[in-house]
A and B are shown apart, each in its own frame.
Chain A
Protein backbone atom coordinates (compact mmCIF):
# COMPACT_ATOMS: atom_id res chain seq x y z
CA UNK A 1 0.00 0.00 0.00
CA UNK A 2 1.54 3.25 -1.16
CA UNK A 3 0.47 6.78 -0.09
CA UNK A 4 1.43 9.69 -2.33
CA UNK A 5 0.32 13.31 -2.45
CA UNK A 6 -1.80 14.96 -5.14
CA UNK A 7 -0.77 18.55 -4.55
CA UNK A 8 -1.21 20.21 -1.16
CA UNK A 9 -4.83 19.20 -0.54
CA UNK A 10 -5.10 15.51 -1.33
CA UNK A 11 -3.38 12.19 -0.69
CA UNK A 12 -3.73 9.06 -2.76
CA UNK A 13 -3.79 5.57 -1.27
CA UNK A 14 -2.74 3.12 -3.98
CA UNK A 15 -3.65 -0.51 -3.30
CA UNK A 16 -2.21 -1.97 -6.51
CA UNK A 17 -0.53 -0.75 -9.69
CA UNK A 18 -2.86 -2.57 -12.10
CA UNK A 19 -6.46 -3.71 -12.07
CA UNK A 20 -7.04 -5.34 -15.46
CA UNK A 21 -5.52 -8.66 -14.42
CA UNK A 22 -7.83 -8.89 -11.37
CA UNK A 23 -10.61 -6.28 -11.50
CA UNK A 24 -12.77 -7.88 -8.82
CA UNK A 25 -9.96 -8.45 -6.32
CA UNK A 26 -8.63 -4.93 -6.85
CA UNK A 27 -12.08 -3.41 -6.38
CA UNK A 28 -12.54 -5.35 -3.12
CA UNK A 29 -9.28 -3.92 -1.81
CA UNK A 30 -10.24 -0.39 -2.87
CA UNK A 31 -13.64 -0.71 -1.16
CA UNK A 32 -12.02 -2.08 1.99
CA UNK A 33 -9.70 0.97 2.14
CA UNK A 34 -12.67 3.25 1.48
CA UNK A 35 -14.72 1.69 4.29
CA UNK A 36 -11.86 1.90 6.78
CA UNK A 37 -11.21 5.54 5.95
CA UNK A 38 -14.93 6.40 6.17
CA UNK A 39 -15.06 4.81 9.60
CA UNK A 40 -11.87 6.53 10.79
CA UNK A 41 -13.37 10.03 10.40
CA UNK A 42 -9.93 11.66 10.38
CA UNK A 43 -10.14 15.37 11.30
CA UNK A 44 -9.70 17.63 8.27
CA UNK A 45 -10.62 14.97 5.68
CA UNK A 46 -13.42 16.37 3.54
CA UNK A 47 -13.94 13.84 0.78
CA UNK A 48 -13.00 10.30 -0.26
CA UNK A 49 -13.07 9.22 -3.89
CA UNK A 50 -12.34 5.68 -5.12
CA UNK A 51 -10.93 4.91 -8.56
CA UNK A 52 -9.64 1.67 -10.15
CA UNK A 53 -6.63 1.10 -7.90
CA UNK A 54 -6.75 4.07 -5.55
CA UNK A 55 -8.71 5.97 -2.94
CA UNK A 56 -8.17 9.74 -3.00
CA UNK A 57 -8.32 11.51 0.36
CA UNK A 58 -9.13 15.19 -0.09
CA UNK A 59 -8.42 17.32 2.95
CA UNK A 60 -8.48 20.88 4.19
CA UNK A 61 -4.80 21.59 4.96
CA UNK A 62 -5.70 24.34 7.43
CA UNK A 63 -7.87 21.99 9.47
CA UNK A 64 -5.25 19.24 9.29
CA UNK A 65 -2.57 21.66 10.48
CA UNK A 66 -4.86 22.84 13.28
CA UNK A 67 -5.35 19.22 14.34
CA UNK A 68 -1.65 18.31 14.38
CA UNK A 69 1.22 19.10 16.68
CA UNK A 70 3.77 19.30 13.87
CA UNK A 71 2.47 21.99 11.50
CA UNK A 72 5.39 21.39 9.12
CA UNK A 73 4.40 17.83 8.47
CA UNK A 74 0.69 18.06 7.71
CA UNK A 75 0.76 15.55 4.85
CA UNK A 76 3.04 13.11 6.68
CA UNK A 77 0.89 13.38 9.79
CA UNK A 78 -2.25 12.70 7.80
CA UNK A 79 -0.58 9.82 5.93
CA UNK A 80 0.32 8.33 9.31
CA UNK A 81 -3.31 8.54 10.47
CA UNK A 82 -4.41 6.91 7.22
CA UNK A 83 -1.94 4.05 7.74
CA UNK A 84 -3.21 3.55 11.28
CA UNK A 85 -6.81 3.48 10.04
CA UNK A 86 -5.90 0.90 7.41
CA UNK A 87 -4.25 -1.48 9.85
CA UNK A 88 -6.84 -1.08 12.59
CA UNK A 89 -9.41 -3.86 13.06
CA UNK A 90 -9.98 -6.99 11.08
CA UNK A 91 -10.47 -7.22 7.38
CA UNK A 92 -14.26 -7.31 7.09
CA UNK A 93 -15.79 -7.93 3.72
CA UNK A 94 -18.95 -5.97 4.32
CA UNK A 95 -18.84 -4.04 1.09
CA UNK A 96 -18.79 -6.96 -1.32
CA UNK A 97 -19.92 -6.17 -4.82
CA UNK A 98 -23.64 -6.92 -4.91
CA UNK A 99 -24.64 -10.26 -6.39
CA UNK A 100 -27.62 -9.11 -8.47
CA UNK A 101 -26.99 -7.24 -11.70
CA UNK A 102 -28.59 -4.00 -12.85
CA UNK A 103 -30.04 -4.43 -16.32
CA UNK A 104 -29.38 -1.71 -18.87
CA UNK A 105 -31.56 -1.84 -22.00
CA UNK A 106 -29.54 -1.02 -25.13
CA UNK A 107 -30.74 -0.43 -28.65
CA UNK A 108 -28.01 -1.59 -31.06
CA UNK A 109 -29.86 -0.04 -34.04
CA UNK A 110 -27.48 1.10 -36.85
CA UNK A 111 -28.60 4.71 -36.33
CA UNK A 112 -27.17 4.62 -32.77
CA UNK A 113 -24.35 2.12 -33.32
CA UNK A 114 -21.91 4.44 -35.09
CA UNK A 115 -18.95 2.07 -34.78
CA UNK A 116 -20.59 -1.36 -34.63
CA UNK A 117 -19.29 -2.31 -38.07
CA UNK A 118 -15.79 -1.22 -37.11
CA UNK A 119 -15.89 -3.25 -33.89
CA UNK A 120 -17.24 -6.25 -35.85
CA UNK A 121 -14.47 -5.95 -38.47
CA UNK A 122 -11.86 -5.68 -35.75
CA UNK A 123 -13.25 -8.77 -33.97
CA UNK A 124 -13.69 -10.61 -37.28
CA UNK A 125 -17.32 -11.39 -36.60
CA UNK A 126 -20.72 -10.13 -37.74
CA UNK A 127 -22.40 -7.12 -36.10
CA UNK A 128 -25.08 -9.48 -34.75
CA UNK A 129 -22.44 -11.62 -33.09
CA UNK A 130 -20.94 -8.52 -31.47
CA UNK A 131 -24.38 -7.56 -30.09
CA UNK A 132 -24.97 -11.10 -28.80
CA UNK A 133 -21.60 -11.19 -27.09
CA UNK A 134 -21.90 -7.69 -25.63
CA UNK A 135 -25.40 -8.28 -24.29
CA UNK A 136 -24.74 -11.65 -22.68
CA UNK A 137 -21.57 -10.83 -20.73
CA UNK A 138 -21.41 -9.95 -17.02
CA UNK A 139 -19.89 -6.57 -16.14
CA UNK A 140 -18.63 -4.81 -13.03
CA UNK A 141 -18.47 -1.02 -12.44
CA UNK A 142 -14.83 -0.47 -11.45
CA UNK A 143 -14.78 3.30 -11.62
CA UNK A 144 -16.92 6.40 -12.24
CA UNK A 145 -15.46 9.51 -13.83
CA UNK A 146 -14.49 11.31 -17.05
CA UNK A 147 -17.90 13.05 -16.94
CA UNK A 148 -20.47 12.91 -14.11
CA UNK A 149 -21.87 9.38 -13.86
CA UNK A 150 -19.73 7.78 -16.62
CA UNK A 151 -19.33 4.11 -15.59
CA UNK A 152 -16.19 2.21 -16.58
CA UNK A 153 -17.15 -1.46 -16.84
CA UNK A 154 -14.80 -4.43 -16.78
CA UNK A 155 -15.87 -7.83 -18.04
CA UNK A 156 -15.92 -7.09 -21.76
CA UNK A 157 -15.40 -10.38 -23.68
CA UNK A 158 -11.77 -10.38 -24.87
CA UNK A 159 -12.82 -10.76 -28.52
CA UNK A 160 -14.54 -7.35 -28.36
CA UNK A 161 -11.44 -5.46 -27.23
CA UNK A 162 -11.15 -2.53 -29.66
CA UNK A 163 -8.61 0.31 -29.46
CA UNK A 164 -9.97 3.84 -28.98
CA UNK A 165 -10.50 5.86 -32.14
CA UNK A 166 -7.38 7.68 -33.33
CA UNK A 167 -9.38 10.91 -33.59
CA UNK A 168 -11.97 11.37 -30.83
CA UNK A 169 -15.48 12.47 -31.88
CA UNK A 170 -16.36 16.02 -30.92
CA UNK A 171 -19.85 15.04 -29.87
CA UNK A 172 -21.12 11.67 -28.71
CA UNK A 173 -24.88 11.55 -27.92
CA UNK A 174 -26.05 11.01 -24.33
CA UNK A 175 -26.76 7.35 -23.55
CA UNK A 176 -24.21 6.04 -26.06
CA UNK A 177 -22.84 2.62 -25.10
CA UNK A 178 -19.25 2.28 -26.24
CA UNK A 179 -16.10 0.16 -26.18
CA UNK A 180 -12.71 1.64 -25.30
CA UNK A 181 -9.86 -0.87 -25.24
CA UNK A 182 -10.74 -3.68 -22.83
CA UNK A 183 -13.60 -1.79 -21.21
CA UNK A 184 -17.12 -0.76 -22.05
CA UNK A 185 -18.96 2.29 -20.77
CA UNK A 186 -21.92 4.62 -21.21
CA UNK A 187 -21.76 8.35 -21.99
CA UNK A 188 -24.23 10.03 -19.58
CA UNK A 189 -24.09 13.45 -21.30
CA UNK A 190 -23.40 14.71 -24.77
CA UNK A 191 -19.62 14.96 -24.72
CA UNK A 192 -16.51 14.50 -26.82
CA UNK A 193 -15.07 11.00 -26.71
CA UNK A 194 -12.84 8.46 -28.39
CA UNK A 195 -14.63 5.18 -27.62
CA UNK A 196 -16.34 3.03 -30.27
CA UNK A 197 -20.09 3.57 -30.05
CA UNK A 198 -22.12 0.36 -30.52
CA UNK A 199 -25.56 1.29 -29.18
CA UNK A 200 -27.65 3.61 -27.03
CA UNK A 201 -29.61 3.24 -23.80
CA UNK A 202 -32.79 5.24 -23.17
CA UNK A 203 -31.97 5.37 -19.44
CA UNK A 204 -30.57 8.47 -17.76
CA UNK A 205 -27.21 7.70 -16.20
CA UNK A 206 -26.87 11.01 -14.36
CA UNK A 207 -29.53 13.26 -12.87
CA UNK A 208 -28.23 16.08 -10.69
CA UNK A 209 -31.67 16.46 -9.08
CA UNK A 210 -31.55 12.92 -7.63
CA UNK A 211 -29.76 11.57 -4.59
CA UNK A 212 -27.56 9.77 -5.45
CA UNK A 213 -27.30 11.48 -8.83
CA UNK A 214 -26.05 8.36 -10.62
CA UNK A 215 -27.80 5.25 -11.92
CA UNK A 216 -24.70 3.08 -11.57
CA UNK A 217 -22.21 3.11 -8.71
CA UNK A 218 -18.78 1.58 -8.23
CA UNK A 219 -19.15 -2.15 -7.42
CA UNK A 220 -22.53 -2.51 -9.17
CA UNK A 221 -22.87 -5.51 -11.47
CA UNK A 222 -24.29 -4.74 -14.86
CA UNK A 223 -25.86 -6.64 -17.79
CA UNK A 224 -27.00 -5.24 -21.10
CA UNK A 225 -30.31 -6.27 -22.71
CA UNK A 226 -30.77 -5.74 -26.44
CA UNK A 227 -33.99 -3.85 -27.21
CA UNK A 228 -35.74 -2.80 -30.42
CA UNK A 229 -36.10 0.73 -31.66
CA UNK A 230 -39.78 0.69 -30.56
CA UNK A 231 -38.84 -0.36 -27.03
CA UNK A 232 -36.19 2.35 -26.98
CA UNK A 233 -38.73 5.05 -27.84
CA UNK A 234 -41.25 3.66 -25.32
CA UNK A 235 -38.68 3.60 -22.51
CA UNK A 236 -37.39 7.04 -23.46
CA UNK A 237 -40.83 8.63 -22.98
Chain B
Protein backbone atom coordinates (compact mmCIF):
# COMPACT_ATOMS: atom_id res chain seq x y z
CA UNK B 1 0.00 0.00 0.00
CA UNK B 2 2.94 2.30 0.67
CA UNK B 3 5.99 3.57 -1.07
CA UNK B 4 8.81 4.34 1.32
CA UNK B 5 11.35 6.94 0.27
CA UNK B 6 14.64 5.61 1.63
CA UNK B 7 16.63 8.20 -0.29
CA UNK B 8 14.88 11.25 -1.70
CA UNK B 9 17.73 12.54 -3.89
CA UNK B 10 18.34 16.16 -4.91
CA UNK B 11 14.76 17.18 -5.65
CA UNK B 12 11.97 14.63 -5.96
CA UNK B 13 8.40 15.92 -6.06
CA UNK B 14 4.92 14.50 -6.55
CA UNK B 15 3.52 15.72 -9.87
CA UNK B 16 0.56 15.05 -12.13
CA UNK B 17 -0.51 16.88 -15.30
CA UNK B 18 -0.83 20.18 -13.40
CA UNK B 19 -3.49 22.77 -12.58
CA UNK B 20 -6.08 24.27 -14.89
CA UNK B 21 -8.34 27.20 -14.14
CA UNK B 22 -6.29 29.02 -11.50
CA UNK B 23 -3.99 31.21 -13.61
CA UNK B 24 -6.50 34.03 -13.05
CA UNK B 25 -5.41 33.91 -9.39
CA UNK B 26 -1.70 33.78 -10.19
CA UNK B 27 -1.33 30.01 -9.71
CA UNK B 28 1.10 28.30 -12.13
CA UNK B 29 -0.02 25.33 -14.21
CA UNK B 30 2.86 23.34 -12.69
CA UNK B 31 2.79 19.54 -13.04
CA UNK B 32 5.47 17.29 -14.51
CA UNK B 33 7.92 19.41 -16.51
CA UNK B 34 7.61 16.78 -19.23
CA UNK B 35 3.86 16.15 -19.23
CA UNK B 36 4.16 13.73 -22.13
CA UNK B 37 6.72 11.57 -20.29
CA UNK B 38 4.42 11.27 -17.27
CA UNK B 39 1.50 10.34 -19.53
CA UNK B 40 3.60 7.56 -21.09
CA UNK B 41 4.75 6.30 -17.68
CA UNK B 42 1.12 6.28 -16.52
CA UNK B 43 0.01 4.37 -19.64
CA UNK B 44 2.73 1.76 -19.03
CA UNK B 45 1.43 1.17 -15.50
CA UNK B 46 -2.28 1.02 -16.33
CA UNK B 47 -2.95 4.36 -14.64
CA UNK B 48 -5.27 7.17 -15.53
CA UNK B 49 -3.23 9.67 -17.58
CA UNK B 50 -3.44 12.27 -14.81
CA UNK B 51 -2.34 9.94 -11.96
CA UNK B 52 0.30 11.44 -9.68
CA UNK B 53 3.83 10.12 -10.08
CA UNK B 54 7.31 11.19 -9.02
CA UNK B 55 9.53 13.68 -10.78
CA UNK B 56 13.14 13.17 -9.77
CA UNK B 57 16.03 15.51 -10.47
CA UNK B 58 19.64 14.36 -10.67
CA UNK B 59 18.68 10.84 -9.51
CA UNK B 60 20.27 9.05 -6.56
CA UNK B 61 16.86 7.95 -5.33
CA UNK B 62 15.90 4.77 -3.47
CA UNK B 63 12.33 3.61 -2.92
CA UNK B 64 10.91 0.55 -1.16
CA UNK B 65 7.60 -1.08 -1.97
CA UNK B 66 5.09 -2.68 0.42
CA UNK B 67 3.24 -4.71 -2.18
CA UNK B 68 3.31 -5.78 -5.82
CA UNK B 69 3.15 -2.92 -8.27
CA UNK B 70 3.81 -2.15 -11.93
CA UNK B 71 6.21 0.70 -12.59
CA UNK B 72 7.25 2.62 -15.68
CA UNK B 73 9.57 5.57 -16.15
CA UNK B 74 10.80 8.02 -18.80
CA UNK B 75 13.26 10.91 -18.97
CA UNK B 76 17.05 11.28 -18.74
CA UNK B 77 19.61 8.50 -19.00
CA UNK B 78 19.58 6.78 -15.59
CA UNK B 79 20.24 3.24 -14.44
CA UNK B 80 17.06 2.08 -12.69
CA UNK B 81 17.22 -1.28 -10.91
CA UNK B 82 14.75 -3.41 -9.00
CA UNK B 83 16.36 -6.36 -7.20
CA UNK B 84 18.76 -7.67 -9.87
CA UNK B 85 16.75 -6.41 -12.82
CA UNK B 86 17.66 -3.36 -14.79
CA UNK B 87 14.52 -1.50 -15.89
CA UNK B 88 14.99 0.38 -19.16
CA UNK B 89 13.03 3.53 -19.95
CA UNK B 90 9.59 3.15 -21.50
CA UNK B 91 8.92 -0.40 -20.31
CA UNK B 92 6.38 -1.84 -17.88
CA UNK B 93 8.09 -3.63 -15.01
CA UNK B 94 7.02 -5.64 -11.98
CA UNK B 95 8.15 -4.85 -8.45
CA UNK B 96 7.43 -7.26 -5.60
CA UNK B 97 6.67 -6.56 -1.95
CA UNK B 98 9.83 -5.51 -0.09
CA UNK B 99 11.66 -4.81 -3.36
CA UNK B 100 13.92 -1.79 -3.45
CA UNK B 101 14.06 0.39 -6.54
CA UNK B 102 17.24 2.37 -7.07
CA UNK B 103 17.87 5.21 -9.47
CA UNK B 104 21.50 6.06 -10.29
CA UNK B 105 22.93 9.50 -10.98
CA UNK B 106 22.33 10.78 -14.52
CA UNK B 107 24.60 9.69 -17.37
CA UNK B 108 22.80 12.21 -19.53
CA UNK B 109 19.89 14.56 -18.93
CA UNK B 110 18.53 15.85 -15.66
CA UNK B 111 15.02 14.72 -14.77
CA UNK B 112 12.93 11.57 -14.83
CA UNK B 113 9.28 10.62 -14.25
CA UNK B 114 8.30 7.45 -12.45
CA UNK B 115 4.74 6.13 -12.40
CA UNK B 116 3.58 3.41 -10.02
CA UNK B 117 0.35 1.50 -10.68
CA UNK B 118 -2.39 3.01 -8.52
CA UNK B 119 -0.59 6.35 -8.48
CA UNK B 120 0.64 8.30 -5.46
CA UNK B 121 -2.43 9.02 -3.34
CA UNK B 122 -2.19 12.54 -1.96
CA UNK B 123 -5.24 14.81 -1.64
CA UNK B 124 -5.63 17.08 -4.66
CA UNK B 125 -5.25 20.80 -3.94
CA UNK B 126 -6.86 23.21 -6.43
CA UNK B 127 -7.69 20.26 -8.65
CA UNK B 128 -4.24 18.71 -8.80
CA UNK B 129 -1.80 16.60 -6.77
CA UNK B 130 1.17 18.53 -8.17
CA UNK B 131 3.63 20.07 -5.73
CA UNK B 132 3.90 23.85 -6.02
CA UNK B 133 7.30 24.54 -4.48
CA UNK B 134 6.99 28.32 -4.74
CA UNK B 135 3.71 28.66 -2.86
CA UNK B 136 4.21 25.43 -0.88
CA UNK B 137 1.02 23.52 -1.47
CA UNK B 138 0.00 20.29 -3.21
CA UNK B 139 1.97 17.04 -3.28
CA UNK B 140 3.23 16.06 0.17
CA UNK B 141 2.76 19.16 2.38
CA UNK B 142 3.79 21.37 -0.53
CA UNK B 143 7.43 20.31 -0.36
CA UNK B 144 10.01 18.10 -2.05
CA UNK B 145 10.27 14.55 -0.66
CA UNK B 146 12.67 13.75 2.17
CA UNK B 147 14.38 10.58 3.31
CA UNK B 148 11.92 8.45 5.27
CA UNK B 149 8.72 9.85 3.70
CA UNK B 150 5.96 7.27 3.37
CA UNK B 151 3.66 7.71 0.39
CA UNK B 152 0.29 6.02 0.21
CA UNK B 153 -0.38 4.36 -3.14
CA UNK B 154 -3.83 4.26 -4.75
CA UNK B 155 -5.84 1.26 -5.91
CA UNK B 156 -4.46 -0.46 -8.97
CA UNK B 157 -6.54 -0.76 -12.13
CA UNK B 158 -7.64 -4.13 -13.54
CA UNK B 159 -5.15 -3.57 -16.32
CA UNK B 160 -2.33 -3.15 -13.79
CA UNK B 161 -3.38 -6.41 -12.11
CA UNK B 162 -3.31 -8.29 -15.39
CA UNK B 163 0.14 -6.80 -16.10
CA UNK B 164 1.30 -8.18 -12.72
CA UNK B 165 0.22 -11.68 -13.85
CA UNK B 166 1.71 -11.19 -17.30
CA UNK B 167 5.12 -10.05 -16.00
CA UNK B 168 5.30 -12.70 -13.29
CA UNK B 169 8.15 -14.56 -15.02
CA UNK B 170 10.20 -11.98 -16.83
CA UNK B 171 9.60 -8.88 -14.66
CA UNK B 172 10.28 -6.45 -17.53
CA UNK B 173 7.97 -6.10 -20.53
CA UNK B 174 9.09 -7.00 -24.02
CA UNK B 175 7.10 -4.03 -25.31
CA UNK B 176 8.11 -0.42 -24.88
CA UNK B 177 7.06 3.06 -25.86
CA UNK B 178 8.86 4.80 -28.76
CA UNK B 179 12.39 5.74 -27.64
CA UNK B 180 11.81 9.34 -28.73
CA UNK B 181 9.16 9.68 -25.99
CA UNK B 182 10.88 7.85 -23.17
CA UNK B 183 14.52 8.91 -23.76
CA UNK B 184 14.42 12.67 -24.05
CA UNK B 185 17.95 13.74 -23.08
CA UNK B 186 19.98 14.74 -26.13
CA UNK B 187 23.52 15.88 -26.81
CA UNK B 188 23.57 19.50 -27.99
CA UNK B 189 19.81 19.55 -28.48
CA UNK B 190 17.90 21.80 -30.85
CA UNK B 191 14.70 23.33 -29.53
CA UNK B 192 12.15 24.41 -32.10
CA UNK B 193 10.56 27.82 -31.57
CA UNK B 194 7.75 29.93 -32.96
CA UNK B 195 7.91 33.73 -32.93
CA UNK B 196 6.64 35.61 -29.91
CA UNK B 197 4.50 38.76 -30.05
CA UNK B 198 7.57 40.91 -29.20
CA UNK B 199 9.73 39.40 -31.96
CA UNK B 200 9.74 42.73 -33.83
CA UNK B 201 11.12 44.57 -30.79
CA UNK B 202 14.44 42.88 -31.65
CA UNK B 203 16.53 43.60 -34.73
CA UNK B 204 17.52 41.25 -37.54
CA UNK B 205 20.96 40.49 -36.13
CA UNK B 206 19.35 39.44 -32.82
CA UNK B 207 16.90 37.22 -34.71
CA UNK B 208 19.86 35.73 -36.51
CA UNK B 209 21.78 35.21 -33.26
CA UNK B 210 18.81 33.51 -31.61
CA UNK B 211 18.51 30.96 -34.37
CA UNK B 212 22.19 30.38 -35.15
CA UNK B 213 24.23 30.77 -31.94
CA UNK B 214 24.57 28.23 -29.15
CA UNK B 215 23.19 29.07 -25.71
CA UNK B 216 24.73 27.70 -22.55
CA UNK B 217 22.49 26.68 -19.62
CA UNK B 218 23.21 28.60 -16.41
CA UNK B 219 23.32 26.94 -12.95
CA UNK B 220 20.51 29.14 -11.62
CA UNK B 221 17.91 27.21 -13.64
CA UNK B 222 15.04 25.47 -11.86
CA UNK B 223 11.43 24.31 -12.33
CA UNK B 224 10.44 27.91 -13.10
CA UNK B 225 12.78 28.28 -15.99
CA UNK B 226 16.03 27.60 -17.80
CA UNK B 227 18.39 30.57 -17.68
CA UNK B 228 21.09 31.03 -20.30
CA UNK B 229 24.60 32.49 -20.03
CA UNK B 230 26.81 34.66 -22.16
CA UNK B 231 24.97 35.64 -25.28
CA UNK B 232 22.92 38.81 -24.89
CA UNK B 233 19.87 39.70 -26.93
CA UNK B 234 19.17 43.41 -27.26
CA UNK B 235 15.98 45.22 -28.03
CA UNK B 236 15.31 47.99 -30.52
CA UNK B 237 13.16 49.93 -28.08
CA UNK B 238 13.04 50.47 -24.34
CA UNK B 239 9.26 50.76 -23.97
CA UNK B 240 8.10 49.61 -20.54
CA UNK B 241 5.76 46.70 -21.32
CA UNK B 242 2.56 45.95 -19.42
CA UNK B 243 2.63 42.54 -17.72
CA UNK B 244 0.63 39.92 -19.58
CA UNK B 245 0.37 36.14 -19.83
CA UNK B 246 3.44 33.97 -20.20
CA UNK B 247 3.40 30.19 -20.47
CA UNK B 248 5.74 27.20 -20.26
CA UNK B 249 7.90 27.50 -23.39
CA UNK B 250 7.97 31.31 -23.43
CA UNK B 251 11.44 32.76 -24.02
CA UNK B 252 11.52 36.14 -22.31
CA UNK B 253 14.36 38.62 -22.42
CA UNK B 254 14.96 40.71 -19.27
CA UNK B 255 16.89 44.01 -19.49
CA UNK B 256 20.30 42.31 -19.12
CA UNK B 257 19.67 40.49 -22.40
CA UNK B 258 20.14 36.95 -21.07
CA UNK B 259 17.09 34.99 -22.20
CA UNK B 260 15.02 32.81 -19.85
CA UNK B 261 13.05 29.82 -21.12
CA UNK B 262 10.03 29.39 -18.84
CA UNK B 263 9.03 25.93 -17.59
CA UNK B 264 5.99 24.48 -15.78
CA UNK B 265 6.35 26.36 -12.48
CA UNK B 266 6.73 29.76 -14.17
CA UNK B 267 4.78 32.77 -12.96
CA UNK B 268 1.49 33.44 -14.76
CA UNK B 269 2.29 36.95 -16.02
CA UNK B 270 5.46 38.76 -16.99
CA UNK B 271 6.52 42.15 -18.27
CA UNK B 272 9.65 41.16 -20.20
CA UNK B 273 9.43 40.96 -24.00
CA UNK B 274 8.54 37.53 -25.37
CA UNK B 275 10.88 37.02 -28.30
CA UNK B 276 9.81 33.44 -29.02
CA UNK B 277 8.22 30.28 -27.60
CA UNK B 278 9.58 26.74 -27.57
CA UNK B 279 6.93 24.46 -29.09
CA UNK B 280 5.03 22.17 -26.74
CA UNK B 281 6.51 18.89 -27.92
CA UNK B 282 10.07 20.18 -27.43
CA UNK B 283 9.40 21.04 -23.77
CA UNK B 284 10.23 17.35 -23.18
CA UNK B 285 13.79 18.11 -24.32
CA UNK B 286 13.90 21.43 -22.43
CA UNK B 287 13.08 19.62 -19.17
CA UNK B 288 16.38 17.70 -19.52
CA UNK B 289 18.68 20.72 -19.84
CA UNK B 290 21.29 20.97 -17.14
CA UNK B 291 23.87 23.52 -16.17
CA UNK B 292 26.73 23.89 -18.67
CA UNK B 293 24.94 22.22 -21.57
CA UNK B 294 24.48 24.04 -24.83
CA UNK B 295 21.37 24.33 -26.91
CA UNK B 296 20.34 25.85 -30.23
CA UNK B 297 17.01 27.21 -31.40
CA UNK B 298 15.39 26.60 -34.76
CA UNK B 299 12.41 28.57 -36.00
CA UNK B 300 9.37 26.78 -37.38
CA UNK B 301 5.87 28.01 -38.24
CA UNK B 302 2.90 27.81 -35.90
CA UNK B 303 0.94 25.44 -38.18
CA UNK B 304 4.01 23.17 -38.25
CA UNK B 305 4.13 23.19 -34.42
CA UNK B 306 0.46 22.21 -34.33
CA UNK B 307 0.93 19.50 -36.94
CA UNK B 308 3.79 17.93 -34.95
CA UNK B 309 1.74 17.98 -31.75
CA UNK B 310 -1.31 16.54 -33.50
CA UNK B 311 0.73 13.74 -35.07
CA UNK B 312 2.31 12.83 -31.74
CA UNK B 313 -1.14 12.68 -30.16
CA UNK B 314 -2.37 10.34 -32.90
CA UNK B 315 0.68 8.15 -32.41
CA UNK B 316 0.08 8.16 -28.66
CA UNK B 317 -3.48 6.99 -29.24
CA UNK B 318 -2.22 4.11 -31.40
CA UNK B 319 0.26 3.18 -28.67
CA UNK B 320 -2.51 3.29 -26.06
CA UNK B 321 -4.68 0.95 -28.13
CA UNK B 322 -1.76 -1.43 -28.73
CA UNK B 323 -1.00 -1.52 -25.02
CA UNK B 324 -4.62 -2.12 -24.08
CA UNK B 325 -4.50 -5.38 -26.09
CA UNK B 326 -2.26 -6.74 -23.31
CA UNK B 327 -5.28 -6.53 -21.02
CA UNK B 328 -6.89 -9.93 -20.49
Binding site for B on A (CB under 8 A): 4-10, 12, 14, 17-19, 46-54, 56, 58, 61-62, 65, 71-75, 143-150, 152, 188-189, 191, 206, 208-209, 212-214, 217-218
Contacts and interface: CB of A to CB of B under 8 A. Distances in A.
Interface in B168-198: 194, 196-197
Contacts, number: 150
A6 B23 CA distance: 15
Given A8-B280, A73-B303, A75-B302, A54 B310 contact: no
7 residue pairs, one from A and one from B, having the closest CB atoms: A7-B277, A56-B245, A208-B137, A145-B269, A4-B197, A49-B23, A8-B305
Given A61-B309, A62-B310, A46 B20 contact: yes
Interface in B21-64: 21-28
Contacts of B162: none
On chain B, which size bracket covers the interface? 35 or more
A163 to B, nearest CB: 12
Nearest to B199: A4
A8 B309 contact: yes
A191 B134 contact: yes
Interface in B246-284: 246-247, 249-250, 267-269, 274, 277-280
B321 interface: no
Contact of A214 (B25, B247, B267): B25
Contact of A149 (B25, B245, B269): B25
A5 B132 CA distance: 26
Interface string B100-132: 000000000000000000000000011000001
Given A8-B302, A18-B242, A148-B22, 15 more contacts: A5-B197, A6-B197, A6-B245, A7-B278, A9-B249, A10-B247, A49-B23, A51-B242, A51-B245, A52-B242, A53-B242, A62-B309, A71-B310, A145-B26, A146-B267
